């Protein structure tokens, strides 16, 4: 089987940690690994095939870096120039596989789920593969332990070997309907995990959403590789209808099969879902980071920078990020995404931006930003370098914190070590390279009329 990781979600319900440019799959919420790293790690022992990742173009370096950190090679990274939901994204991979004469089952996994019972999960995948090889379109159905209103449901039909025929998909129900679903024993939570052969998927997609197949086929006509990145035609792909695999295919196919699994699964779709995945203290609180609490109960408190102090509060979610603090009652946690959307469409777009930005040479973190200045910390991989460039409207200074730096400045070479610095006036061409064996850490201070990323001349 070929793992296909869907990494296109925005995760706005986990704002302010999850941002437009740094969504939840790249966050370390449950362990020292990000959610996408955990997704990749749980595939070990299942297949030796390198995963394919589908992500937005702006996330490409994040995907590459997160896979590099856990030493997980990727076969390729499909770049979506515009978001068109999961059905078109999977059509790209399926069409490419068929064009290459390959028809191995595709294992479709969201990048941002939590699964604790890895053994049960991997056993279910083996069962799913058996059915996918027969031409079935398989969905993993999580055994529902409670009448959750936050998940969609799959109703099983007659038994089909060690699985069941899919009778129908149901939307997120109200509490009473959810209770009836669970009591009947015929319903599973829809995990969003699928397996099928590329040709089987494309046959069903052509039958139900032919416009998606046409647009994706046209988008692939100009497919070209840029390192591990696969780029497609943006205009053609934008013409594709936007639809999910559930609506476009799984709800209509007669070849649907559901494989039950009990694997301690969650889609981490809200702060309360994350709270449920964590061990509470004796008062029902889950506290992450620096916090002081007194007479608080059943609350989720997470601090990333400042110390949170809470007294006499119950059933609250309090989240501190580098530039925002979010407070909500547990009853209104599903509306957090509306806050993120307000900032995105209003004047506070900066509050949606990420704290750490990844580049091919490493990454940087903004430490302080104001009118006419910006202070950031650069981390450059061994052997990597920033491209030679200049700025028209700003000057810079670099201070080496750790490692060995080589700077090309206006035709002259300067080698710097920890504690040493250099000033770079506007208009002068310069280049920074890591010549050491460890990550180079540099503090960069920008001053001038503008500190915009657009003030870069690489000519």
pLDDT in tens, 157-193: 999 989 999 999 998 899 999 999 999 999 999 999 9
d(CA 230, CA 57): 10
| pLDDT mean over 53-59 | 93
Q: Is the peptide bond before 300 cis (omega within 30 degrees of 0)?
A: no
Residue 346 above 60 pLDDT? no
Mean pLDDT of the chain: 92
pLDDT tens, position by position, 75-108: 999 999 999 999 999 999 999 999 999 999 999 9
| pLDDT mean over 1-21 | 88
Dihedral sign computed on CA atoms, order 46, 101, 247, 340: positive
The band of 354, judged by pLDDT with boundaries at 50, 70 and 90, is: low
pLDDT at 368: 85
Q: What are the domain boundaries of the chain?
A: 2-266, 271-342, 361-448
pLDDT tens, position by position, 110-145: 999 999 999 999 999 999 999 999 999 999 999 998
* pLDDT higher at 346 or 310: 310
pLDDT tens, position by position, 112-121: 999 999 999 9
pLDDT at 197: 98
Tell me if the domain spanning 2-266 has CATH number 1.10.10.10. no
Report the range out of 83-87, 303-307, 340-344 with the highest average pLDDT. Answer: 83-87
Contact in structure between 226 and 134 (CB atoms under 8 Å): no
d(CA 176, CA 74): 44
pLDDT at 347: 44
d(CA 228, CA 1): 20
pLDDT at 352: 43
The band of 342, judged by pLDDT with boundaries at 50, 70 and 90, is: confident
Percentage above 70 pLDDT, the chain: 97
Residue 326 above 90 pLDDT? yes
Contact in structure between 173 and 153 (CB atoms under 8 Å): yes
pLDDT at 348: 45
Residue 340 above 90 pLDDT? no
pLDDT at 344: 65
Picking from 100-104, 334-338, 414-418, which range would have the lowest pLDDT averaged per residue? 334-338
d(CA 391, CA 351): 26
Give the burial class of 371: count Cβ atoms within 10 A of its Cβ; 0-12 exposed, 13-18 middle, 19 or more buried: exposed
Percentage above 90 pLDDT, the chain: 79
pLDDT tens, position by position, 237-281: 999 999 999 999 999 999 999 999 999 999 998 999 999 989 999
Q: Which CATH class is domain 361-448?
A: mainly beta
> Which segments within 283-439 are labelled E, that is strand?
286-288, 291-294, 300-303, 308-311, 316-320, 325-329, 356-359, 362-370, 373-380, 394-402, 405-409, 412-416, 421-424, 430-434
The band of 341, judged by pLDDT with boundaries at 50, 70 and 90, is: confident
pLDDT tens, position by position, 398-410: 999 999 999 999 9
């Amino acid at each position: 089987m070929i793992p296909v990781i869907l990494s296109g979600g925005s995760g706005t319900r986990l704002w302010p940690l999850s941002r437009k440019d740094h969504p939840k799959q790249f966050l370390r919420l449950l362990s020292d690994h990000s959610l996408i790293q955990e997704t990749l790690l749980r595939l070990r022992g299942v297949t030796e095939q390198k995963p394919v990742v589908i992500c937005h173009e702006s996330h490409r370096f994040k995907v590459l870096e997160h896979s590099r950190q856990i030493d997980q090679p990727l076969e390729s990274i499909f770049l979506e120039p515009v978001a068109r939901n999961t059905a078109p994204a999977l059509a790209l991979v399926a069409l490419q596989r068929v064009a290459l004469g390959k028809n191995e089952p595709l294992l479709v996994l969201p990048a941002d789920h939590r699964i604790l019972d890895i053994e049960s999960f991997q056993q279910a995948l083996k069962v799913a593969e058996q059915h996918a090889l027969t031409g079935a379109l398989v969905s993993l159905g999580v055994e529902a332990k409670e009448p959750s209103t936050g998940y969609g449901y799959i109703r099983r039909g007659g038994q089909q070997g060690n699985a069941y025929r899919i009778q129908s998909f149901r939307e997120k129900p109200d509490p009473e309907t959810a209770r009836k679903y669970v009591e009947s024993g015929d319903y599973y939570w829809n995990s969003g995990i699928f397996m099928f052969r590329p040709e089987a998927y494309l046959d069903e997609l052509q039958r139900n959403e032919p416009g998606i197949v046409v647009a994706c086929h046209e988008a692939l006509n100009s497919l070209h590789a840029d390192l591990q990145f696969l780029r497609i035609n943006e205009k053609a792909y934008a013409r594709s209808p936007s639809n999910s695999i559930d609506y476009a295919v799984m709800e209509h196919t007669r070849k649907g099969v559901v494989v039950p699994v009990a694997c301690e699964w969650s889609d981490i779709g809200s702060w309360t879902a994350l709270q449920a995945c964590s061990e509470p203290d004796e008062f029902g609180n889950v506290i992450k980071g620096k916090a002081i609490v007194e007479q608080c109960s059943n609350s989720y408190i997470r601090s990333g920078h400042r110390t949170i102090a809470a007294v006499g509060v119950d059933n609250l979610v309090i989240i501190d990020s580098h530039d925002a603090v979010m407070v909500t009652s547990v009853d209104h946690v599903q509306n957090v995404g509306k806050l993120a959307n307000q900032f995105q469409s209003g004047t506070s777009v900066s509050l949606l931006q990420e704290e750490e930005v990844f580049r091919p040479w490493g990454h940087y973190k903004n430490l302080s930003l104001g009118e006419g200045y910006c202070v950031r910390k650069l981390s450059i991989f061994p052997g990597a370098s920033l491209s030679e460039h200049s700025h028209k409207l700003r000057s810079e200074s670099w201070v080496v914190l750790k490692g060995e730096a080589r700077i090309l400045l206006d035709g002259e070479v300067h080698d710097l070590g920890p504690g040493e610095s250099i000033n770079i006036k506007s208009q002068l061409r310069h280049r920074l390279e890591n010549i050491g064996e460890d990550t180079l850490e540099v503090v960069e201070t920008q001053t001038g009329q503008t500190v915009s990323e657009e003030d870069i001349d690489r000519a």
